[in-house]
Amino acid sequence: MIDRRAFLAAAAAATAGTLAGCAKKSPAKSDGSGSAGKPITLGFSQVGSESGWRAANTQSVKDSAKAAGINLKFSDAQQKQENQISAIRSYIAQKVDVISFSPVVVTGWDTVLKEAKAAGIPVILTDRSVETSDPSLYVTLVGSDFESEGERAAHLLEKVLAGHTGTVKIAQLEGTTGAAPAIERAKGFAKIMKASHPDWKIIASQSGDFTRAGGKQVMAAFLQAHPDIEVLFAHNDDMAIGAIQSIQAAGKAPGKDIKIISCDGVHDGFVAMSKGQINAIVECNPLLGPQLMDTVKTVHAGKGSTLPRWIKTQESDYTADQAAAALPSRKY
């Protein structure tokens, strides 16, 4: 498990002295142009296009780069780590000014990140984190606190179950195996269970890979083996929406016979929640583009050491009674 908070505290000190080495190029101007007025070139490796969250995140990165006057090189890894590593190597070969990526899983990055460091190209993580023994391999992470999201999901379930007594049988649809949001949402949820709810039992837990098809398929299998499931905790809305189809196919009412707590807060998740099919959603903000581009400019200007090791995104929680009113103003 990642003890990210402890790691980041240690990393802050270790990184300060080494960042100067990353910004070997002459500092950029504050308008986002690079040295000698050239636009900053950012190489970005995206996880894939597996969910509504990812689509909104991709659009935010592209729109923000354009608005910031940053030259964006973008690649979609189709959820394969080897494709991300290839993309990063390609950006190194192209001598981009900054590299940013959302790592599909937490492990296996040190080698390619050392290549980026050797080339003097600073790296900014966005959305998901990595496990590394060398904190100098990236400047900062722009993204959400997934462990907190797991804890928030448990607190939302407390609200949804208000007044319920006795054992609660829970199924968990996990995100991509080895991905930070999957590891940490499960960790946060389990932490609250252990601390406050001995009567909550996770009777089935499996990855649906953050996709609708995965959620539908795994939930159907869950219901075959455990027709007595009372709650579903889904690590994202897309898996919850897929699961709803299987719940209905089993002749049960989602949101009533099986309470559903989900993460993300994408449009279709809010629509399902407005219908009472999802009971509550932990928002995970995909609109990271503006913060990322500001961070790119700061790093390229040689001021990366002024940044925190983790630039956290702000986000809220919603219950079904709030969904209809919130829908018109949702930005993704």
For residues 77 and 148, the answer to whether their CB atoms sit within 8 Å is no
Hey, CA dihedral for 159, 160, 163, 167, is it positive or negative?
A: negative
CB of 185 to ligand GZL, least distance (A): 8
Out of 138, 200, 210, 270, point to the residue binding ligand GZL (CB under 6 A). 210
Closest CA to 142 of 290, 300, 317, 330: 290
Q: Which residues contact 252 (CB under 8 A, 6 or more apart)?
A: 223, 258
Nearer to ligand GZL, 210 or 270 (CB): 210
Nearer to ligand GZL, 41 or 51 (CB): 51
- Taking CB atoms, the residue at the shortest distance from ligand GZL is 53
Extract the tokens encoding 233.
Answer: 């905790």
Element (H, E) at 215: helix 212-225
- Per-residue contact track with ligand GZL, 70 to 109, x per CB under 6 A? ----------------------------------------
Nearer to ligand GZL, 236 or 246 (CB): 236
Out of 97, 127, 131, 145, point to the residue binding ligand GZL (CB under 6 A). 127
Nearer to ligand GZL, 40 or 239 (CB): 239
Out of 64, 72, 123, 128, point to the residue binding ligand GZL (CB under 6 A). 128
CB of 46 to ligand GZL, least distance (A): 11
Q: Which residues sit opposite 169 in a β-bridge? A: 201
Q: Which residues sit opposite 263 in a β-bridge? A: 282
Nearer to ligand GZL, 161 or 234 (CB): 234
Using CB under 6 A as the binding rule, whether residue 264 contacts ligand GZL is answered as: yes
Using CB under 6 A as the binding rule, whether residue 209 contacts ligand GZL is answered as: no
Sheet architecture: strand order including 231-234:
200-207, 168-174, 231-234, 259-264, 280-283, 317-319
Q: Which residues contact 183 (CB under 8 A, 6 or more apart)?
A: 1, 2, 106, 146
Out of 4, 23, 46, 53, point to the residue binding ligand GZL (CB under 6 A). 53
Restricting to residues 277-306, which ones interact with ligand GZL according to CB under 6 A? 284
Rounded CA separation 330/332 (Å): 6
Out of 15, 41, 45, 51, point to the residue binding ligand GZL (CB under 6 A). 51
Count of residues that bind ligand GZL according to CB under 6 A? 14
Number of other CB atoms surrounding residue 14 within 10 Å: 12
Hey, CA dihedral for 47, 48, 51, 57, is it positive or negative?
A: positive
Nearer to ligand GZL, 151 or 264 (CB): 264
- Per-residue contact track with ligand GZL, 140 to 159, x per CB under 6 A? ----x---------------
Nearer to ligand GZL, 122 or 181 (CB): 181
Restricting to residues 167-196, which ones interact with ligand GZL according to CB under 6 A? 181
Rounded CA separation 131/182 (Å): 14
Nearer to ligand GZL, 214 or 302 (CB): 214
Q: Which stretch binds ligand GZL (CB under 6 A): 47-55, 108-116, 163-171, 215-223?
A: 47-55
Number of other CB atoms surrounding residue 228 within 10 Å: 8
Q: Where are the beta strands (DSSP E) in 71-131?
A: 71-76, 98-101, 123-126
Q: Point out which residues bind ligand GZL (CB under 6 A).
A: 50-51, 53-54, 127-128, 144, 181, 210, 236, 238, 263-264, 284
